[in-house]
Amino acid sequence: MAVDFKDYYKTLGVERTASPDDIKQAFRKLARVHHPDVAKNKAVGEEKFKEINEAYEVLGDPEKRKRYDELGPNWQQEGMPRQPAHGAAGTPDFEFGGTGFSDFFESFFGARNEGFGSFRRQRGDAMDEDDAFERQGRDVEADLLVTLEEALLGSLRKVTLRRPADNGSAERADTYQVRIPAGVHEGQRIRLAGQGRQGRGGTPGDLYLRVRLARHPDFSVQGADLHFDLDLAPWEAVLGVQAKIPTLDGTTSLRVPAGTSGGSQLRLKGLGLPRDDGGRGDLYATVRIQVPASVSAEERGAWEELARTSKFKPRKTR
């Protein structure tokens, strides 16, 4: 099963020399267009959103980006710093569909390359590792991309596991209806018992899907809490405003008090992700005061008049 190289820079539309901020901005711009909730064609948008997320999962992480840059587009010919956990170079021993990640990602940046899952051996078994794999079967692992909306509400996902030909048997593909429960969190494992690799005479391994929360164009995640950057004009921070902001439940209105300073956090209770106790986390809006890059002559005059008449002193004087 050949693995195709993924050009993540091309996916995000940035140069290989792009700064971390350039990459973040490119992701946010594309994700807002292709998010399944807003895309004109939901099916196409969902697929594109997954591709964008995978690209940002790698390029938005300094360590993963460094490893990716070391691979280069000629990775199969030039040798690979990271090999799949099992199987020949460039050929994973299983391929997945419906997880939200490509086999290229799984081979080099996914669960199997991060110590997730392990070889299982019965206590006291003196056989070597290869023999144990053959007799008992082994676990199969992959990452499962879950959107924040799915984490909030739960969903059903079709996941296909394509198994390579083994000992003369034909290659086959098994499809599972995987239930993603509401409230899943980053790193949580969903287990499909007995659906891993079949052993010779022993019990088969299990299939594990590890949840990876999709990056969202508006929110970052800290535990069950969501964080949102709220951009305000200077006069909105001074005078106060009713600001409309997105939430996972739809748009809501947030009252920004007069005199709100940059960096302030405004809390919307219960609009985060599900918690283990059955409640929900909170949504925090962090204020960022924006200034216009350019102003008209009339606007400049208004600002100059304000500067002359205001008694506000932002810097302390001795």
Residue 229: give its domain's CATH number. 2.60.260.20
Q: How many CB atoms lie within 10 A of CB 162?
A: 16
Segment 143-169 shows an average pLDDT of 86
289 and 153 inside one domain: no
Q: What is the pLDDT of residue 137?
A: 78
- Residue 317 located in a structural domain: no
189 and 281 inside one domain: no
Segment 145-164 shows an average pLDDT of 91
Cα gap 144→151, rounded to integer Å = 12
Q: What is the pLDDT of residue 120?
A: 38
CA Rg, the chain, in Å? 25
Decide if 182 contacts 154 (C-beta within 8 A). yes
Mean of the per-residue pLDDT values of the chain: 84
- Count of structural domains within the chain: 2
Q: What is the pLDDT of residue 282?
A: 98
Task: Give the pLDDT confidence of 62-96 residue by residue, as tens digits.
Answer: 999 999 998 876 655 444 444 443 443 344 567 88
Cα gap 74→41, rounded to integer Å = 34
Residue that wins the pLDDT comparison between 199 and 159: 159
101 and 168 inside one domain: yes
Q: State the greatest distance between any 2 C-alpha atoms of the chain, in Å, as a whole number.
A: 87
Would you put residue 55 in left (φ > 0), alpha (ψ -120 to 50) or beta?
Answer: alpha
86 and 208 inside one domain: yes
90 and 48 inside one domain: yes
Q: What is the pLDDT of residue 134?
A: 57
Cα gap 230→245, rounded to integer Å = 8
Q: Is the dihedral of CA 219, 212, 278, 222 positive or negative?
A: negative
Residue 280 DSSP class: B
105 and 201 inside one domain: yes
Task: Give the pLDDT confidence of 233-284 residue by residue, as tens digits.
Answer: 999 999 999 999 999 999 999 999 999 999 999 999 999 999 989 999 999 9
152 and 282 inside one domain: no
- Residue 2 located in a structural domain: no
| Least confident stretch, 53-62, 197-206, 235-244, 297-306 | 197-206
- The residues pairing with 142 across neighbouring beta strands, listed in sequence order, are 209
Q: Is the dihedral of CA 191, 54, 100, 220 positive or negative?
A: positive
145 and 159 inside one domain: yes
| Least confident stretch, 28-42, 122-136, 284-298 | 122-136
- Residue 186 located in a structural domain: yes
Q: Where are the alpha helices (DSSP H) in the chain?
A: 8-12, 20-34, 42-59, 62-71, 75-78, 103-108, 129-136, 148-153, 234-239, 297-309
- Please give the structure tokens belonging to residue 79: 């040798």
- The residues pairing with 190 across neighbouring beta strands, listed in sequence order, are 209
80 and 198 inside one domain: yes
Cα gap 7→13, rounded to integer Å = 10
- Please give the structure tokens belonging to residue 238: 């001074």
205 and 238 inside one domain: no
Q: Residue 140, class by beta-carbon neighbours within 10 Å (0-12 exposed, 13-18 middle, 19+ buried)?
A: buried
Percent of the chain exceeding pLDDT 70 equals 83
238 and 205 inside one domain: no
**Structural domain harbouring 166:** 8-117+134-213
pLDDT band for position 60 (50/70/90)?
Answer: very high
- Residue 98 located in a structural domain: yes
Task: Give the pLDDT confidence of 98-144 residue by residue, as tens digits.
Answer: 999 998 898 888 876 554 443 333 334 444 555 554 567 788 899 99
